[in-house]
Amino acid sequence: MKVCLCSYGRVKPDVVAYGREIMGSKISTGCKSLSGTSVASPVVAGVVCLLVSVIPEGNRKDILNPASMKQALVEGAAKLSGPNMYEQGAGRVDLLESYEILKSYKPRATIFPSILDYTDCPYSWPFCRQPLYAGAMPVIFNATILNGMGVIGYVESPPTWHPSDEEGNLLSVHFTYSEVIWPWTGYLALHMQIKDEGAQFSGQIEGNITLNVYSPPARGEKGRRNSTCVLHLKLKVVPTPPRSNRVLWDQFHSIKYPPGYIPRDSLDVRNDILDWHGDHLHTNFHIMYNMLRDAGYYVEALGSPFTCFDAHQYGTLLLVDLEEEYFAEEIKKLRDDVINTGLGLVVFAEWYNVDTMVKMRFFDDNTRSWWTPVTGGANIPALNDLLSPFGIAFGDKILNGDFSINGEQSRYASGTDIVKFPSGGYVHRFPFLDSSESGATQNILSSGMTKEDSPILGLLAMGGVRIAVYGDSNCLDSSHMVTNCYWLLRKILDFTSKNIKDPLLFSDSVRHDKPLYLDDNQLPSRRTDINFSTYSAVVGKELICRSDSRFEVWGTKGYGLQVRGRNRRLPGYQVIDFGGGLNSTTENFNTKRSNSTEKNKDESLGNKYLGSLYRDDPDMPMEVASHWLIPAIVTVSEATPAEERIQLWPLCQFIAVDEFGEIESNEIKFRQHRLPESIR
């Protein structure tokens, strides 16, 4: 059986077939045994030919098309007990079952897969390994619409979620889909979240998603063809885990293959010149993902910039093998999150050396052009910018060698070194050889390739700040791993998320009273001969929250410039109503607003201050719509201690929307407001 772990998106492969030691004829004489997809693919092609041949010729034009054939193959396939859906698709092809489906086939549209049972392990891995819960990043699943009614089809109305019981209303499902299905196929993406009111719910949610599709009438027909697609959904839900058990994995800053030449991470591996494995929790980091789940951690993937998540919800932000740049707003927000909200930060970096990158240039016969690495194993200059507020930076050495911590044997495979780290931190050093082009030349000339102690692991515990940095990701990546360092990752997460300090990692022998320091002009620099904007989602791009962010603010820029839909939340902020409510009229709103300070003594100071802002600010409009969303860091009551009433509204942002919750004006005001002295 030939199976493969395919891309994280729509279920692929569709089906699998026998592909190991398949007997076939030689070009000359006799037979030989073959294996691989090159054998499995002809097997499926042969099945298709047989299916076509058994359908009466007079009915073939009415029945057979790419969609109906795919429907017959996937609906007739036999699901295997071991592989997951991304390894086997619908399962092993079954010629007889597919024939029975085609024999009585009526043109229709369907969704593949037609059942999403997230309680079915291991078939529905990775979804079955982690239940849904309120406050999590959306679980996204991409299904395929197969339209056997014609080459073109149309989705008549938006998909609808039909829960089987009242608990199903706790599930919020957003859809993105092909409104026009051409040719023969389209897509249906589900963005699933548990509503806030389900934060304590434990149990299963079940129901159906329906989608109506129609196609123009076939030859000889007068009316259009209609079909209702049904997708059955079954999910497990648990109460929202504590913050200390929640880890956020940064997927946004991992450049997707293959926009450019992103070189491999371990330079010892010669047969894979490109880093094409996806660097995702569910591809080459899937063993690590399973380990973290077994350790009790809940791991979510962030597919949007750092400005699109609420740091109060997570114990640790995990950055592994990242090649992307960072928006200035991201750098500022991460600093604030780590220092002010207690978010733990873990970085597993990679090598970066310009001289080595230049040496890795090669001529590609397919494109007839020279390919040059656009960055190293990781984008160290960008990571250094991100870590600069904490006084941490990586260098440009490429270190290799074996080392041991507390008897745990580890391999450092093309990792980098730490060149800046604050005083009071814990820094672990080991003897390694610098194998970079510049480093190797220098070692040959000066020391005959001797090893030097290099700092590779740094831990910072200062006040509420908890940061851990490590210079190599190979020990977490199952692609070309020599030895794993899952034990180290667990100890690091225990520190950054739960403030549990391992005595060995935080030994006095590795504590530094003086900082590691390297002048900024000596840090690794970006290549000036590469147009990085060609490959980047950051350089030259707009800062937006994508549809995979937690908050129902699609298209939000930065901290929330554009809000779509009714009562949408801005990332990291509460929705504050002026007192009129979303269904109030402007007249009632203005009445409540004018009386807020005098009459509502137990109302929040935030709302009272908004009332005074509205009256006293000459730049504010006199008449506004009632549906205004205001980002607020906190809402305090009069019982809040004075020392906590520092600056309630560091940025008041007003967005006027109409009665349907849509943007009424693109003009948005920004004004800095401070609390009056009397209520600070």
Please check whether residues 222 and 96 belong to one and the same domain. yes
- For CA atoms 629, 635, 638, 641, the dihedral sign is negative
pLDDT band at 481 (very low <50, low <70, confident <90, very high): confident
The single residue listed with the structure tokens 């656009």 is 374
CA dihedral 338, 248, 632, 621 (to 10 degrees): 120
In a domain, residue 478? The reply is yes
Model's pTM, two decimal places? 0.79
Least confident of 32-41, 134-143, 507-516: 32-41
> Distance between alpha carbon 645 and the CA centroid of its chain, in Å?
35
Helices (H) and strands (E) in the chain, counts: 13, 30
User: Distance from CA of residue 447 to its chain's centroid?
Assistant: 45
Identify the CA nearest to 589 among candidates 621, 562, 633: 621
Which pLDDT band holds residue 62 (cuts at 50, 70, 90)? confident
Q: How far, CA to CA in Å, does 54 sit from each of 48, 64, 69, 105, 594?
A: 10, 11, 13, 13, 79
The two tokens of residue 451 are 């090893």
Domain annotation covers residue 382: yes
* pLDDT at residue 298 tops 70: yes
How far, CA to CA in Å, does 284 sit from each of 47, 142, 374, 517, 600? 33, 20, 21, 34, 57
Give me the number of domains the chain comprises: 3
In which domain, by residue range, is 59 found? 22-237
Same domain, 221 and 259: no
Q: What is the pLDDT of residues 16-25, one digit of tens each?
A: 998 888 888 8
Instruction: Give 56: exposed, middle or buried? Use CB within 10 Å, 0-12, 13-18, 19+.
Output: exposed
Q: Which residue, of 476, 510, 534, is where some domain finishes? A: 534
Instruction: Tell me the percentage of the chain whose pLDDT exceeds 90.
Output: 62
Report yes or no: 291 and 486 within 8 Å, Cβ to Cβ. yes
- Residue 321 corresponds to which tokens in the numbers above? 């093998």
pLDDT of residue 642 exceeding 60, the answer is no
For residue 143, pLDDT beyond 90 = yes
Reported confidence tier of residue 548, pLDDT bands at 50, 70, 90: confident
| Domain-located, residue 662 | yes
Stretch 239-261: mean pLDDT: 91
State how far the Cα of 269 lies from the Cα of 266, in Å rounded to an integer.
6
Q: Which pair of structure tokens corresponds to residue 228? A: 């209702």
Q: Region 359-372: what's the mean pLDDT? A: 87
User: Is omega for the bond preceding 305 within 30 degrees of 0, making it cis?
Assistant: no
Which contiguous run of DSSP H or E holds residue 33?
strand 31-34
Q: Point out the least confidently predicted range of 28-42, 173-187, 328-342, 528-542.
A: 28-42
Confidence band (pLDDT; 50, 70, 90) for 542? Answer: very high
Specify if 134 maps to a domain.
yes
As a whole number, mean pLDDT of residues 519-525 equals 95
Say whether both 230 and 287 belong to one domain.
no
Which has the minimum average pLDDT: 102-111, 580-589, 655-664? 580-589
User: Domain ends where: 482, 516, 534?
Assistant: 534
Specify the higher pLDDT residue, 380 or 365: 380
Nearest to 274, CA basis, from 373, 381, 382? 373
Whether 302 and 411 share a structural domain: yes
Cα distances (angstroms) measured from residue 396 to each of 202, 380, 522 = 49, 8, 10
Confidence tier at 278 by pLDDT (50, 70, 90): confident
| Residue 553, both tokens | 């603010």
Question: Does the pLDDT of residue 277 top 90, yes or no?
Answer: no
Q: Is residue 326 part of a domain?
A: yes
Among the candidates 210, 237, 264, a domain finishes at 237
**Is 547 within a domain?**
no
Which amino acid is residue 161, in one-letter code? Answer: W
Q: Could you say which DSSP state residue 160 is in?
A: E
Pick 581 or 434 by higher pLDDT: 434
Which pLDDT belongs to residue 337? 97
Does position 133 have pLDDT exceeding 70, yes or no? yes
Q: Are 39 and 22 in contact (CB under 8 A)?
A: yes
Residue 540 maps to a domain? no
Give residue 28's pLDDT. Answer: 84
What pLDDT does 157 receive? 94
Lowest mean pLDDT among 263-267, 485-489, 501-505, 641-645: 641-645
Any idea which of 149-153, 320-324, 407-411, 557-561 has the lowest mean pLDDT? 557-561
* Statement: residue 610 has pLDDT above 70: no
What pLDDT sits at residue 258? 62
Give me the pLDDT at residue 201, please. Answer: 97
CA atoms within 13 A on the CB side of 442: 12
> What is the full DSSP assignment across 224-266?
PEEEEEEEEEEEEE-PPPPGGGEEEEE-TTSPPSSSS--B-S-
The stretch 604-615 carries a mean pLDDT of 31
Query: How would residue 449 be classed by pLDDT, with cut points 50, 70 and 90?
Result: low
Residue pair 316/345 in contact (Cβ under 8 Å)? The answer is yes
What pLDDT does residue 151 have?
96
Q: Is 581 left (phi over 0), alpha (psi -120 to 50) or beta?
A: left
**Average pLDDT for residues 122-148, to the nearest whole number?**
96
Shared-domain flag, residues 467 and 440: yes
Confidence class of residue 596 from pLDDT cuts 50, 70 and 90? very low
Selection from 629, 267, 332, 310 nearest residue 480 by Cα:
267
Same domain, 50 and 143: yes
Q: Which of 274-283, 419-428, 522-531 has the highest mean pLDDT?
A: 419-428
Residue spans of beta strands (DSSP E) within 567-616: 574-575
Same domain, 284 and 355: yes
Residues 351, 330 share a domain: yes
Output the pLDDT for position 680.
Answer: 34
Q: Which CATH number does the domain housing residue 265 bear? A: 3.40.50.880
> What would the two tokens of residue 286 be?
């899937």
The residue among 392, 452, 395, 399 whose CA lies nearest residue 425 is 392
Question: Does residue 247 share a domain with residue 222?
Answer: no
What does the mean pLDDT of the chain come to?
81
Lowest mean pLDDT among 53-62, 217-226, 238-247, 496-505: 53-62
Helix axes of 37-54 and 95-103: crossing angle, nearest 10 degrees? 30
Instruction: Label residue 438 by pLDDT band (50, 70, 90).
Output: low
pLDDT at 551: 55
Residue 42 tokens, joined: 């002809």
Domain co-membership, 656 together with 525: no
Co-location of 515 and 366 in the same domain: yes
Please compute the mean of the pLDDT values over residues 190-214 and round it to a whole number: 96
User: Would residue 9 count as lying in a domain?
Assistant: no
**Which has the closest alpha carbon to 377: 474, 272, 548, 263?**
263
| For the ranges 340-349, 397-406, 621-630, the one whose mean pLDDT is highest | 340-349
Report CA dihedral (442, 444, 445, 447) to the nearest 10 degrees.
90
Q: Which of the four pLDDT bands, split at 50, 70 and 90, describes residue 208? A: very high
Looking at the DSSP bridge assignments, the partners of residue 458 are 427, 469
Do 365 and 345 fall within a single domain? yes
